[in-house]
A and B are shown apart, each in its own frame.
Chain A
Amino acid sequence: MKASFRDELVPVSALNEYVYCPRRFYYQRYQDEIGTPYELVDGRSKHERQSRRGGWVRERYFRSNDLGLHGKIDLVESNDETLTPVERKRAESAEYYPSDEVQLAGYCMLLETALDESVNVGYIYLYSTDQRYAIQITENHRKTVREIVRHIRTMTVDSIPPLTDNPSKCEACSAREYCMPEETAMLEPDKAKGTGFEREERR
């Protein structure tokens, strides 16, 4: 029997990691090979500072066996009795990613399970630009969240996800030294079939 997430709750942050790159997520989950990116360290220290200021509800932990999810929401804003989760990102590139939306959707779903009422909007806040974006959580988001939870819970150490289909994601990835995507494609081209690293005849 191989270890998997089958009976464990999936942390909401894992949704983001998985959407970004399932292979990177695999390394993180099973092999501790992603390094500690600067972004993460810096983000942590920002969270610490921010969460000491007054006002909102912060760092609230939620879990749901039905969703198979658990996680801590950075910040929950309350306005006119409506609770809205806020996910804060460092976002050097001054934009957020689809994976951030999925993570936010996960928080909204957790929150609505806890409140037993629907939460259809969440915010993504970017430190780099001091901008806040309201995200409408769609049925598509919810479906994606459920699918990813299923993928993660059935993942095993024996099946490594393929290389990413979008090599530009590798540029900032701290697992790259270990992952060796381009190198793998050169040494064993069949491993790159159907990924972003598949290439025509080599020079």
Chain B
Amino acid sequence: MKASEGMFDESVIFVTKQGTQVRTDEGRIVVWDVDGDDGELASYPTEKLDTINVFGGVNFSTPFVARANEHGIVLNYFTQNGKYRGSFVPERNTIAEIRRAQYALSDDDELDLAKAMIAGKIRNARTLLSRKGVHGTDVLKDLGVRAENATNKDGLRGTEGEAAERYFNRLDETLTDGWTFEKRTKRPPEDHINSLLSLTYVMMKNEVLSGLRQYNLDPFLGVLHADRHGRPSLALDLQEEFRPIFCDAFVTRLVNRGVITHDDFTADNHLADEAFKTYLSKFDDYMQEEFTHPHFEYSVSRRKAIRQQVILLRKTMTGEMDEYHALTFDR
């Protein structure tokens, strides 16, 4: 079987150059250097795009925003350092039946979805460690079974927490000399590796969030993450299965290949400007990189595979499919 033509492969763009404007020109979307003399920096066919991520001092022309609305293009705003600031979400008029289905999920339905996602995450954590030559992870296997058999959300959260701890304890062994992973710290990340993990989780969360919005699911109504004002719980839930196999794998690749070094960080553990640009471009490349899909057996980009998971999630919520099939890698 062959993957159908690339609707998602170039669907997300990142605009990082300061002093630029995103505008429209004859049916295309153009990034224009307004402060400098470089003129048109890049242009994209409107139909292909679904997400534009902008960092810092980038602005949008009013006709462009109108077109983004018309074509269902989501705009995500970040600071120059990658801190998420908010989004422009286009209005779409056909969401009622989907939202109704999502809001009508019972506790049991939610638990089933969450179990599939967490069991998938634990499976993928084991696979990542094993790919990196870290063995003796049977305890993760047991926790995976426990996740599948969870009878309530609190139990499932407990299992997830235990699995994460066991997994992060071993993550250090995947890193090259000069890098260590002591423990997972956040808000703020206390070292460079944690800083890279946090940044990558934010970038991935936004990939998932854009996908959910694209398919008219409400990203704020989760199935496992507790409700909290302004927290995109469903995006965080769906992100779980991608964390080890995509996010952590990306971070280990960056440091193991020397793409990012300790010198690339500022005193407060942020990536310096140039390194951050490198990071974004590597992240985008990584999302467009193809792999053989473990279930569908064709070659597909990571970005498209994530969008497909959103579709599968939606199909499960609307009853079109019987269960949610997480993206899991056995080896």
Binding partners A and B: yes
Contact with A along B76-90 (1 / 0, CB 8 A): 000000000000000
Known: A187-B295, A188-B321. A32 touches B92 (CB 8 A): yes
Q: Is B289 part of the contact surface with A, judged by Cβ < 8 Å?
A: no
Q: Does the CB pair B97–A31 fall under 8 Å?
A: yes
Q: Is B98 part of the contact surface with A, judged by Cβ < 8 Å?
A: yes
- The interface residues of chain A lying within 8 Å CB-to-CB of B319 are 158
Q: What distance in Å separates the Cβ of A65 from its nearest Cβ neighbour in chain B?
A: 27
Interface residues of A, dominant DSSP: helix
Q: Does the CB pair A187–B321 fall under 8 Å?
A: yes
A3, B94: Cα distance in complex, Å:
13
Q: What distance in Å separates the Cβ of B48 from its nearest Cβ neighbour in chain A?
A: 11
A188, B295: Cα distance in complex, Å:
11
- The interface residues of chain B lying within 8 Å CB-to-CB of A3 are 97
- The interface residues of chain A lying within 8 Å CB-to-CB of B320 are 160
Q: Is A72 part of the contact surface with B, judged by Cβ < 8 Å?
A: no
Q: What distance in Å separates the Cβ of A189 from its nearest Cβ neighbour in chain B?
A: 11
Q: Is B275 part of the contact surface with A, judged by Cβ < 8 Å?
A: no
Interface residues of B, dominant DSSP: loop
A182, B3: Cα distance in complex, Å:
10
Q: Does the CB pair A176–B4 fall under 8 Å?
A: yes
Which residue in chain B gives the minimum CB-CB distance to A187? B325
Q: What distance in Å separates the Cβ of A54 from its nearest Cβ neighbour in chain B?
A: 31
Q: Does the CB pair A184–B94 fall under 8 Å?
A: no
Q: Is A30 part of the contact surface with B, judged by Cβ < 8 Å?
A: yes
- The interface residues of chain A lying within 8 Å CB-to-CB of B97 are 3, 30-31, 157
Q: Does the CB pair B321–A182 fall under 8 Å?
A: no
Q: Which of A136-192 contact B (CB under 8 A)?
A: 157-158, 160, 176-178, 180, 182-184, 186-188, 191
User: What is the interface residue range for chain A against chain B?
Assistant: 20 to 34
Q: Is A36 part of the contact surface with B, judged by Cβ < 8 Å?
A: yes
Q: Does the CB pair A36–B1 fall under 8 Å?
A: no
A157, B319: Cα distance in complex, Å:
10
- The interface residues of chain A lying within 8 Å CB-to-CB of B315 are 180, 184
- The interface residues of chain B lying within 8 Å CB-to-CB of A182 are 1, 296
Which residue in chain A gives the minimum CB-CB distance to B47? A36
- The interface residues of chain B lying within 8 Å CB-to-CB of A180 are 308, 311-312, 315
- The interface residues of chain A lying within 8 Å CB-to-CB of B322 are 188, 191
- The interface residues of chain B lying within 8 Å CB-to-CB of A31 are 94, 97-98
Which residue in chain A gives the minimum CB-CB distance to B304? A177
Q: Does the CB pair B92–A186 fall under 8 Å?
A: no
Contact with A along B91-133 (1 / 0, CB 8 A): 0111001100000000000000000000000000000000000
Which residue in chain A gives the minimum CB-CB distance to B296? A183
Known: A160-B320, A187-B325. A177 touches B98 (CB 8 A): no
Q: Is B7 part of the contact surface with A, judged by Cβ < 8 Å?
A: yes
Q: Does the CB pair B325–A178 fall under 8 Å?
A: no
A176, B3: Cα distance in complex, Å:
10
A99, B1: Cα distance in complex, Å:
27
Q: Does the CB pair B47–A177 fall under 8 Å?
A: no
- The interface residues of chain B lying within 8 Å CB-to-CB of A178 are 311
A30, B314: Cα distance in complex, Å:
14
Which residue in chain B gives the minimum CB-CB distance to A2? B97
Q: Does the CB pair A186–B311 fall under 8 Å?
A: no
Q: Does the CB pair B4–A191 fall under 8 Å?
A: no
- The interface residues of chain B lying within 8 Å CB-to-CB of A191 are 321-322
Q: Does the CB pair A186–B296 fall under 8 Å?
A: yes
- The interface residues of chain B lying within 8 Å CB-to-CB of A187 are 295, 312, 321, 325
Contact with A along B280-297 (1 / 0, CB 8 A): 000000000000000110
Which residue in chain B gives the minimum CB-CB distance to A184? B321
Question: What are the 7 A-B residue pairs with the smallest beta carbon separation, nearest first?
Answer: A32-B94, A187-B325, A176-B4, A157-B97, A177-B7, A182-B1, A160-B320
| Residues of chain B at the chain A interface (Cβ within 8 Å) | 1, 4, 7, 47, 92-94, 97-98, 295-296, 308, 311-312, 315, 319-323, 325
In the assembled complex, 26 residue pairs joining A and B whose CB atoms fall closer than 8 Å, in A order, are A3-B97, A30-B97, A31-B94, A31-B97, A31-B98, A32-B94, A36-B47, A158-B319, A176-B4, A177-B311, A178-B311, A180-B308, A180-B311, A180-B312, A180-B315, A182-B1, A183-B295, A183-B296, A183-B308, A184-B315, A184-B321, A186-B296, A187-B321, A187-B325, A191-B321, A191-B322
| Residues of chain A at the chain B interface (Cβ within 8 Å) | 3, 30-32, 35-36, 157-158, 160, 176-178, 180, 182-184, 186-188, 191
